[in-house]
Structure formats: C-alpha cells, structure tokens
Chain A
Amino acid sequence: MIFYVACAVAAWLFLVGVYGIATSDNLVHLVLCLVVVQASTYVLLSAVGYRHGGVAPVFADVTQTQTTVDSVVQALMLTDIVVEATVVALLLAITVQIKKRTGIVDPNNVNLLRG
C-alpha cells in the first residue's frame, strides 16, 4: 500500500516541478524547481527498493538472516544525488553568464540570438 502512496507523491512532485519550470519568471527559480523534479525520482526509487519490514543493508549491526531492503537501487539513488548537484552547479554557472552578457534573468525575455 505504501508503494502506491509513494508513486502518487512522485507523480505529484513531478507535475508541480514542471509547472514551476513552465511558468517561471526568474532563472534561479527555474533551477530550484528542477531540484523538485529530480526529487520525484528519489521518492519512486526508494519505494521500489523498500521491502515490508526490512532494515538497512548495513551488516555491521544487522545479521544476515534478517530481511533487508534492496541495495542496488540505493546505489542508483546515490549516483542520482551526485548528478543533481553537478547539474545545478552547471546551470547556475550558465545563469551567471547570461546575466553578465544580457543583464536579464527572466527566461521569457532572454533572447540570446540577438546581435
């Protein structure tokens, strides 16, 4: 049951984030709405990996006979979080350059093909 609740929350986060990107009027606000969109994938992946009654797969404290959650999906999530940080860094660097060259931070008014 928790699986379906988590999938619904993932869809909600995705749609809210895309709404924020589509109707944004500031480039930095747009980048932070992208963070919300990426969070929807985290919610979905952690719901896929969860097993009812499972514990964390760190065997320093947990014996091998207990049911644990999935560890391969968590490796995917780690990569996802690191890539999120790098994407935000690159997008912010692009935003700073756009502001320096055209003086505008409104994505509706940025026209980079201007001569």
Chain B
Amino acid sequence: MNDAAITVLQVMTLVLVAATGAAVVFTRQPAHQMVGVSFFGLILALMFLLFQAADVALSQIVIGAVALPLMVMLALGKIRRQSIEQDKKEHGE
C-alpha cells in the first residue's frame, strides 16, 4: 500500500521534472529563466526526497536553488552594467 503510493508520487514528480526542464529551456530571457532554474532546483530536490536520497536533496536545495541563481543574477547585473557603460561611451563620442 505504501509502496504503491510512493511509486505514484515518483511518477508524478518525474513528469513535473520533465515539464519544468522544458519550460526552463524555452524561456528566452535570462532574467526570467533564472526564476525557472530556481524552481527547477526545488522540484529536483523533491524528486531526490522521493527517491530516498536525503543528503543529495539537501545539497541540491542549497546549491541549485540558492547559490546558482545568485551567481547568475550577479553575472547578469554585471553584464547589464557593462552594456550601459558601453552605450554611454558610444553616445558620448
């Protein structure tokens, strides 16, 4: 009884993982995609939990849903800052 319930939950989470992965790829703007990657990390952690991998789920939440979107956000900010500076230089000349 318990095993059947866990199997059903695992199949549902796997379908959700596939759908969220496709959504992450088909979002073209990096700023929007970053939110999607954070959500994808959370769904992956749920999948790890259902497959009885507790340590891996903790690691995935901490790295894939906190540290990774953070680095992407900071890189995006730096790129946007550089493009503002480069536009200013072009229009100033």
| Physical contact A–B (CB less than 8 Å) | yes
A25 within 8 A of B: yes
Contact status B30-A32, CB under 8 Å: yes
A-side contacts of B7, CB under 8 Å:
1-2
Contact status A81-B75, CB under 8 Å: no
The A-contacting residues of B in range 2-32, CB under 8 angstroms, are: 3, 7, 10-11, 14-15, 17-18, 21-22, 24-26, 28-30
Q: Is the interface of A mostly helix, strand, loop or mixed?
A: helix
CB 8 Å contact bits of A50-94 with B (1 = contact, 0 = none): 101111101000000000110000100110011011001100110
Most A CB within 10 A of own CB, among B26, B63, B83: B63
Contact status B47-A46, CB under 8 Å: yes
Q: Is the interface of B mostly helix, strand, loop or mixed?
A: helix
A110 within 8 A of B: no
Contact status B17-A28, CB under 8 Å: no
Contact status B28-A82, CB under 8 Å: no
Cα separation A39 to B54 with both chains bound (whole Å) = 17
A/B interface sample: 5 pairs, CB < 8 A: A20-B25, A28-B75, A35-B24, A36-B25, A93-B75
> A17-B25, A26-B30 given. 8 additional CB < 8 A pairs?
A29-B29, A32-B30, A35-B64, A56-B53, A69-B51, A85-B64, A93-B75, A96-B82
